[in-house]
Amino acid sequence: MERKNLYSPYINIKREDWKTLNGVLNFSLSDDDIDKLHALNEPLNLKEIQEVYFPLSHLLNIHIDHANNLYKAERAYIKSARKRSPFIIGIAGSVAAGKSTTARVLQKVLSLWPNRPNVALVTTDGFLYPNRILEEREIMNRKGFPESYDTKKLINFLADVKAGKEKLEIPIYSHLEYDVIPHETQEILNPDIVIVEGINVLQVNLSDKHKGPQVFVSDFFDYSIYVHASEKNLLEWYVSRFEQLQRTAFQNESSYFHRYASLSEEETLTLANNIWDLINKPNLIKNILPTRFRANLILEKGSHHFVKGVKLRKT
C-alpha cells in the first residue's frame, strides 16, 4: 500500500472487488423496469445494478439495521415509546453526473428487500424558488446555485421527517415548464427510508452575514453518497443530453426551452457549451465538487456512465 493512501479517510474499492460484496440480494429486473429507472442519455443495464447497486443496497441495510438497533437500545434506556425516525440517504453530485438514476435505482433495490420498506424519493428541484422570485432577485442565471433554493423549506421538511410526521408534502418541479408547479405537491406517507437527491444537499452555504448557530441539510442525513465523474465526462454528458433534448422535449410548444427548438446542430452545440461554461462549471467548481469528501461513500464513474470504483469512508 502506498504511504499517501495509508492515512486516507476512504477505502478505495475497485469495481471487481466491490461486486463481490453483494451478500444476500438475488433477484432480477425486467427491461421495462430498467427503462423506467435511468434518465435520458444515461445507459443502465442489469449488470450495473447487480454489480454496483446490490452491494450498495447491502451496505445501506447494514447501516439501517445498526440504526434500528441503536433506536431500540435508546428507547429502552430512556423508557420511551417514540416511533423510529425514517432513515435518510442524501445523494449529491454535479449536473449530468447521473444522480437521479442512482436515486431511482436505489429506491427500487431497497424496496425489494424482504421486509419491503416504504422508500420515498425526494428531489431538491421542488425546493427551488419559483421563477418569478428568481427573476425578482435577478438570479435566474444562477438557478441551481445555493441561493436559488428555499433551503429553509427543505430543512423544515427534513425536520418533519426526523420528527416522525406521518404525512408529508413537498413541492413538485416541472422540467418541461422549468419551474415549480404552484399549488401542487407530492405526498409522502409513513416512509421507512427517504432518499434526498440534489446537487446542493451536501453544501453548508456559510455566509459572512450569518451570526450564531446554523442547521444544514446534511445534518439530517444518516448516510450520504456523492456521484463523481471527471469534468471532461460531465461536459460531454451534459452536451449530449442537451442535444437530445433539443431534438425531443424542446420541440414541445409547452417547453420553457421551446425557443431553442429550431437551432441548428452547430448552434445547439455552442449553446450547450456556453451554458456549461457560464453556469454549470462555476457551480461545480465553487459549490458542488468541494462537498465530495463530506460524503460517506463516493461512486466514481468512468467515461461511459458506469461506476468504475467506490470510495468508502472509514468508520
d(CA 134, CA 153): 16
Mean pLDDT of all residues in 168-174 = 96
Inform me whether the pLDDT recorded for 181 exceeds 70: yes
Domain 8-313: CATH superfamily is P-loop containing nucleotide triphosphate hydrolases (3.40.50.300)
Inform me whether the pLDDT recorded for 87 exceeds 50: yes
d(CA 131, CA 125): 12
**Average pLDDT value over all residues in the chain:** 91
User: What pLDDT is stored for residue 206 in this prediction?
Assistant: 56
Inform me whether the pLDDT recorded for 147 exceeds 90: yes
DSSP strand pairing (119-123 vs 223-228): unpaired
In the chain, the percentage of residues whose pLDDT exceeds 70 is 94
d(CA 26, CA 254): 43
Mean pLDDT of all residues in 234-263 = 95
| Cβ–Cβ under 8 Å, residues 275 and 288 | no
Each residue's pLDDT tens digit, 182-236: 999 999 999 999 999 999 899 986 555 555 568 999 999 999 999 999 999 999 9
| Cβ–Cβ under 8 Å, residues 96 and 234 | yes
d(CA 119, CA 7): 36
Each residue's pLDDT tens digit, 15-74: 999 999 976 666 777 778 888 887 777 788 889 999 999 999 999 999 999 999 999 999
User: What pLDDT is stored for residue 209 in this prediction?
Assistant: 59
Q: What is the band of 1 on the pLDDT scale with cuts at 50, 70, 90?
A: very low
- Using a cut of 0.85, tell me whether the model's pTM lies above it: yes
C-alpha grid cell, residue 196: 434526498
Q: Which is more confident, 173 or 43? A: 173
